[in-house]
Amino acid sequence: MAPTFEHLREADLDDEDYNEDEIDVSDLRERFEVQLEHGYDTFVVIDGLPKVTEDQKPKLVKFLLRKLNTVGSTREDLIYMPMGEDGKSLSFAFVEYSSAAEAAAATRQLDMVPLDKKHTLRVNKMTDIERYGREGRIDETYQPPKIDEFTQKEHLKWWLKDPSGRGRDQFVLFRGDNVGVFWNNEKDQPEGVVERPHWTETFVQWSPKGTYLTSVHAQGVQLWGGQSWSRQARFAHPYVNMVAFSPSEKYMVTWSNRPISIPEEGHPALSIDDDGKNYVIWEITTGTPLRSFANLDLPKPEEGRPPPKLQWPAFKWSADDKYVARLNPGQSISVYELPRMNLLEKTTIKIDGVVDFDWAPATVQRDGVKEYEQLICFWTPEIGSNPAKVGLMSIPSKEIVRSLNLFSVSDAKLHWQSEAAYLCVKVDRHSKSKKSQATTLEIFRVKEKGVPVEVVDTIKDTVINFAWEPRGARFAIISTTEPVGPTAVAPKTAVSFFCPEKTKGTTTGNFKHLRTLDKKNSNAIYWAPRGRFVVIATVHNQQSSDLDFFDLDFEGEKPESDKDLTANLQLMNTADHYGVTDVEWDPSGRFVATWASVWKHTMENGYHIYDFRGEALREEPVDKFKQFSWRPRPATLLTKEEQKQIRKNLREYSRVFDQEDADRGASADLAVVEARRHLLNEWYEWRESMEAELAEERERAGLPKDPHTHLLEAKTKTLQVADQEQVVEEIVEDVLEETEEVVVG
């Protein structure tokens, strides 16, 4: 019976018949409770402190503060150090920072930092201790960590010992959805090494020494290597866009334009600290992330100008992998030390207006400098009345080694020579009216005492490309008269070569202009990895696609005008690869690959291989051809003397190799002929059997041997009956003889 008003009891006054307190919602609470931050994010717990008495405490706190304030700001009263019953401290303390970011920085930078000789700080976030150290989360009994059996890794550099004994190079081809690695067989069909469909989602990339092949997926990056092409490492950076290796393959930077978002259940490699970051720096051998960074807020572009492009690589490595640096445009350069990834001397290098910087690509031994150093060069534009500046800085001392003031600068580009012996700063200058453009090349002789700077004569035109000869002192530039802009037909360009003058001693002479080739369309310079040879190409051009192969040490006659110069330029060959988009020398400098990638256009995709003289060896049109990349080689292990020895005996070696090549060619030809003979026999056997079968069946069906003869005969008869004779007249003109008389007046 439903209760009426009269019968109402106290209990019935509740709208519901149950008591909320009695319901067990702990399971729901556990599932849905919002993780309140409790504001504990700003707290860290410091372990490993010395035990102190109440009297000594302030002293310790003061001492500690000095350390703690290097990464953030905290105060004496924000440090709580609990005391034990014996009146001594418990060797730990709670510290509150002013922000969670500072607390995070403290755990990263102060953990494992020695306080004094006996004590080492252990810094953890309070929330982490809550999360990992809460009761029940830790097994009370010690479980020894499981150590995997040692497994022998594959030999990662096996390919250097070409099984055919010919020292061939490998390359990777990415076409359609297939990625394949091949041995370069010069003129012949490349020999397949491995081929996998859908090996990568966007592109492939070799590591700088060729050890690993990188594949890029939505889940992250994978490295492959060894003879079985097994997976060597995996770096789970979701939606990764770009990958860059450190020069000696120890570290890697991955970048994604989407900030990392760590899901509730965690991430296999990254932690909650990496949430919202775009860059991750990894150690390759262990596969662990070292540190992550967010994108820098790019400065607002000026009105009417396109937003500045993302700089890649954003993180630049020093030649020996010891440092990595990132530019904060217009403000500073941050240099981090590896492997701890701490900011060098805990401060960024403030350089007002800095536009660009670059590490010396090799460790330089400067004249009269004994200490270890890596060099950074950078430039700043004119700010107010201050001139533009190019600076050369020594790391880790952060001392400016050399600086150069420049005026009326509209842009500058920094070009290091491969051994870091020279640095060329290509300076685009404008006249006072800002109308006409000119370019100067300021060359820093890094290895010479005091780093002298030489200015190569002013070039009236705009220089659109510059390239040093690797391991040499010569360079090529491409200049154009008209401003580079969106014109229908690209303006004509001029290619110029420069080289040092001859000198008596070992020093390098002044840089002199060697030759200029006018009215070209070329826009790209590709030096052979060992110098001497260079390909000047026209890429990404709809109208022309020339490839000019030059030798700078031509062994023929040298023109009189060049007798004081250290080069003898000779155009060896020209080639034309329609629609070429990319050019790459093989690591040995024997071959040049050129390709037209479907990423750029869809016309005549495929690749060509030339030898260093520009002789076409192979042309392979491939549909949906995307990428070609030679496998790099590590630096040689031979000493200078051994290399010299080899160079001396080159004739001996080449005789052996020529013989081998000839033998192989002959046997290959033989095999081809044999295969053809086989095909031909097979074909005629099939035809004979087919013809025999047909003849037999026709006979069985009572049909004449040839299906047409009797038909035609019958037709002819009907025509004869009709007796319609018709004359088809044809006039054929034949030139019997043609003479040409030349009348000499």
Partner 1 sequence: MRPILLAGHERALTQIRYNLDGDLIFSVAKDQHICAWYSHNGERLGTYHGHVGAIWTVDVDPTTTMIASGSADNTIRLWDVKSAKNLKTWEFPTAVKRVEFSEDGTKLLGVTEKRMGYLSNIVVFDINPDPAAEQTDERALTIVCDESKATVAGFSYLNRYIIAGHEDGSVSQYDAKTGELIDNIPIHELNQPIVDLQWNADRTYFITACKDKSAKLVAARDLTVLKTYPADTPLNSATITPKKDFVILGGGQAAMDVTRTSARQGKFEARFYHKVFEDEIGRVRGHFGPLNTVAADPTGKSYASGGEDGYVRVHHFDKGYFDFLYEVERERINRMS
- Residues 566, 571, 629, 478, CA torsion sign: positive
Q: State which of positions 530-549 bind partner 1 (CB under 8 A).
A: 542
Binding segment for partner 1 (CB under 8 A), chosen from 1-9, 127-135, 527-535, 696-704, is 696-704
The two structure tokens encoding residue 635? 């630096």
User: Binding residue for partner 1 (CB under 8 A) from 683, 685, 692, 720?
Assistant: 683
Binding segment for partner 1 (CB under 8 A), chosen from 84-92, 189-197, 650-658, 680-688, is 680-688
Instruction: Give least dist CB 694 to partner 1, A.
Output: 6
In the bound state with partner 1, the residue whose beta carbon lies nearer, of 660 and 696, is 696
Query: What are the DSSP E strand ranges found in 58-150?
Result: 79-80, 92-96, 122-125
State how far the Cα of 460 lies from the Cα of 438, in Å rounded to an integer. Answer: 5
In the bound state with partner 1, the residue whose beta carbon lies nearer, of 298 and 714, is 714
Residue 720 interacts with partner 1 (CB under 8 A)?
Answer: no
Binding segment for partner 1 (CB under 8 A), chosen from 441-449, 561-569, 641-649, 691-699, is 691-699
State how far the Cα of 112 lies from the Cα of 121, in Å rounded to an integer. Answer: 5
Q: How far is CA 489 from CA 44, 480, 482, 577, in A?
A: 63, 13, 11, 19
In the bound state with partner 1, the residue whose beta carbon lies nearer, of 571 and 711, is 711
Residue 621 interacts with partner 1 (CB under 8 A)?
Answer: yes
Locus of tokens 């960074």: 293
Locus of tokens 């990132």: 326
Q: Phi first, then psi: give them for residue 529, nearest 5 degrees.
A: -60, -25
Residue 715 interacts with partner 1 (CB under 8 A)?
Answer: yes
The two structure tokens encoding residue 385? 């009345």
In the bound state with partner 1, the residue whose beta carbon lies nearer, of 374 and 545, is 545
In the bound state with partner 1, the residue whose beta carbon lies nearer, of 482 and 669, is 669
In the bound state with partner 1, the residue whose beta carbon lies nearer, of 99 and 542, is 542
User: Binding residue for partner 1 (CB under 8 A) from 691, 692, 717, 720?
Assistant: 691
Binding segment for partner 1 (CB under 8 A), chosen from 306-314, 373-381, 488-496, 707-715, is 707-715
Counting DSSP H helices and E strands in the chain, the numbers are 7, 41
In the bound state with partner 1, the residue whose beta carbon lies nearer, of 310 and 675, is 675
Instruction: Give least dist CB 30 to partner 1, A.
Output: 53
In the bound state with partner 1, the residue whose beta carbon lies nearer, of 112 and 695, is 695
Instruction: Give least dist CB 722 to partner 1, A.
Output: 10
Query: Binding string to partner 1 for residues 587 to 616, with x set by CB under 8 A, is what?
Result: ----------------xx------------
User: Binding residue for partner 1 (CB under 8 A) from 676, 685, 696, 699?
Assistant: 676
Instruction: Give least dist CB 105 to partner 1, A.
Output: 55
Residue 8 interacts with partner 1 (CB under 8 A)?
Answer: no
Instruction: Give least dist CB 552 to partner 1, A.
Output: 33
Residue 671 interacts with partner 1 (CB under 8 A)?
Answer: no
State how far the Cα of 502 lies from the Cα of 510, in Å rounded to an integer. Answer: 8
Residue 685 interacts with partner 1 (CB under 8 A)?
Answer: no
Residues with Cβ < 8 Å from 106, sequence gap 6 or more? 44, 68, 71, 72, 95, 97, 123
In the bound state with partner 1, the residue whose beta carbon lies nearer, of 399 and 674, is 674
In the bound state with partner 1, the residue whose beta carbon lies nearer, of 415 and 624, is 624
Residue 705 interacts with partner 1 (CB under 8 A)?
Answer: no
State how far the Cα of 742 lies from the Cα of 745, in Å rounded to an integer. Answer: 9
In the bound state with partner 1, the residue whose beta carbon lies nearer, of 189 and 506, is 189
Residue closest to 352 by CA, chosen among 324, 376, 329 = 329
Residue closest to 581 by CA, chosen among 611, 538, 550, 534 = 538
Residue closest to 407 by CA, chosen among 378, 426, 385, 376 = 385
Residues with Cβ < 8 Å from 247, sequence gap 6 or more? 208, 317, 319, 320, 321, 361
State how far the Cα of 8 lies from the Cα of 364, in Å rounded to an integer. Answer: 96
Residue 576 interacts with partner 1 (CB under 8 A)?
Answer: no
User: Binding residue for partner 1 (CB under 8 A) from 17, 85, 730, 740?
Assistant: 730
In the bound state with partner 1, the residue whose beta carbon lies nearer, of 294 and 711, is 711
User: Binding residue for partner 1 (CB under 8 A) from 191, 201, 367, 697?
Assistant: 697
Strand partners of residue 495: 478, 517
Locus of tokens 């990834």: 341
State how far the Cα of 312 lies from the Cα of 289, in Å rounded to an integer. Answer: 20
State how far the Cα of 585 lies from the Cα of 609, in Å rounded to an integer. Answer: 10
Instruction: Give least dist CB 683 to partner 1, A.
Output: 5
Residue 680 interacts with partner 1 (CB under 8 A)?
Answer: yes
User: Binding residue for partner 1 (CB under 8 A) from 694, 696, 699, 717?
Assistant: 694
The full DSSP string for 1-45 is -PPPSTT--GGGGSSSSS-GGGS--HHHHHHH-----TTGGGEEE
Query: What are the DSSP E strand ranges found in 288-373?
Result: 288-293, 315-317, 323-328, 332-337, 342-343, 349-350, 356-359
Residues of this chain that interact with partner 1 (CB under 8 A) are: 542, 578, 603-604, 621, 623, 673, 676-677, 679-680, 683-684, 686, 690-691, 694, 697-698, 701, 703, 707-708, 711-712, 714-715, 730
